[in-house]
Structure 1
């Protein structure tokens, strides 16, 4: 793994509680896979699985699903909270999968591949995939926003203000845009059968406090906390108060809609 994060138990627990589960994205991807291979398949591997929210979504489509992650804390949450009879978990780096060559129908990574040693991961995914197997990477950019009635545009501006404040604490491994990482990885993938998809909006009901807690799971925020906890907390409190003012409510448990913009690519090994 090029970068190791999300490994302390508190952060892992908040990751499980507040991160978005990509149900709609996985459903769309499975529709594309059905055109390329018979489902249910035999084996799928979710690399960088975290607490398993996405891993279990693969269970109806494969006889066996394995989630892998480098973090013991994340895997502990996955095993306790995401139980499914045909899903198991293993601790390992993304670039060193404990699987036989040519044994896997699907290798996927959901909102994690940007942290990997990308050339090594692509090589390892190619090793374990069988001929005709597919590699799918999906993620979202930090441009999610909140919807609520006729004040959506004002809420969007506050969300942008929040993300702008986090930019100085962004990990250098990520560069300036996460989406560009995935486009570059697609270019690196040698398979001729590959395609890019973006613009899939996933909506989730969330409270104002839930949104603030989600932001606090982002790696730049965690870095800010370690650098200057007071400043980080002041920012999150300021954003919370601005959102409440726009909504004209006093309760941070007021519900709004979180819109997350996903992108993904799929490539099939010859």
Structure 2
């Protein structure tokens, strides 16, 4: 079953404020694959495990209709609050039981969510709802993000980041194994679709305030687990992390903008015409 770890209202608000969505360039690779394999028109996209809806919103300009689904009412409430596009709707459901007819969906996406699903059941369900030549896109990023700031040693900044990531590691869910990328690789290898692609090491650079970068990391499941188990330890870790970075950057405000390089990997697959 889908793991339910992101359902608190505070966590949902943090998701909306800090979580990043795939860049236009990354999304374009998904759309190019869909156009090459299925062709237009792009009618219905379903964004599974949509959280607070950042990825759903990005899809809206390319499809006649986009539906975001999530198991969490709090996440969907946040998504609905920020949904301005008239062609977006949201539905509460588990990833393994999608409320769509057989062969009705052009694109099924899961952005930084697939690792929480019952993966074999979800893949069967995605197969059921996809149209012939419809496509599946599973995207995620690694925790090993890289930070850079002008006139500052990036190696030192990233060493501080690595120490922060290492402190969170004991709070990582055992469901994810040692590295989430292996779960995606295994699924890619097990998919019997002849038309499929695997990419990793796709860098996406974003400029944001340092405070947003830290908020982004604090929205991760293992930080939230630490926060629940030992709030004082989690808060101290985050504050010390921020102070060390500011000291190294020689700045006094966490509003200072930094460049964050996020490393993505993704799986694209096309349902066969005769499946």
Normalised by the length of structure 2, the TM-score is 0.95
The answer for the alignment partner of 2:197 in structure 1 is 195
The answer for the alignment partner of 1:89 in structure 2 is 90
Question: For residues 75-111 of structure 1, what are the alpha-carbon distances to aligned partners after superposition, in whole Å with 9 as ceiling and x for unaligned?
Answer: 1111111321111110000000011111111111000
| Superposed displacement of residue 242, structure 1 | 0.8
1 CA distance for matches of 2:37 and 2:56? 20
Give the match's secondary structure for 2:178: coil
Give the match's secondary structure for 1:35: helix
Structure 2 counterparts to residues 187-266 of structure 1, below 5 A: 187-266=189-268
CA contact (8 A) 2:2 2:95 kept: no
Unaligned runs of 5+ in 1: none
The answer for the alignment partner of 1:184 in structure 2 is 186
The answer for the alignment partner of 2:2 in structure 1 is 2
CA contact (8 A) 1:119 1:188 kept: no
2 CA distance for matches of 1:102 and 1:40? 15
The answer for the alignment partner of 2:134 in structure 1 is 133
Structure 2 counterparts to residues 1-270 of structure 1, below 5 A: 1-24=1-24, 25-149=26-150, 150-270=152-272
| Superposed displacement of residue 151, structure 1 | 1.8
CA contact (8 A) 1:201 1:260 kept: yes
Aligned-residue CA RMSD (Å)? 1.1
Size of the aligned set, in residue pairs, is 270
| Superposed displacement of residue 172, structure 1 | 0.6
2 CA distance for matches of 1:148 and 1:229? 30
| Superposed displacement of residue 154, structure 1 | 1.1
| Superposed displacement of residue 26, structure 1 | 1.1
Give the match's secondary structure for 1:54: helix
2 CA distance for matches of 1:168 and 1:23? 30
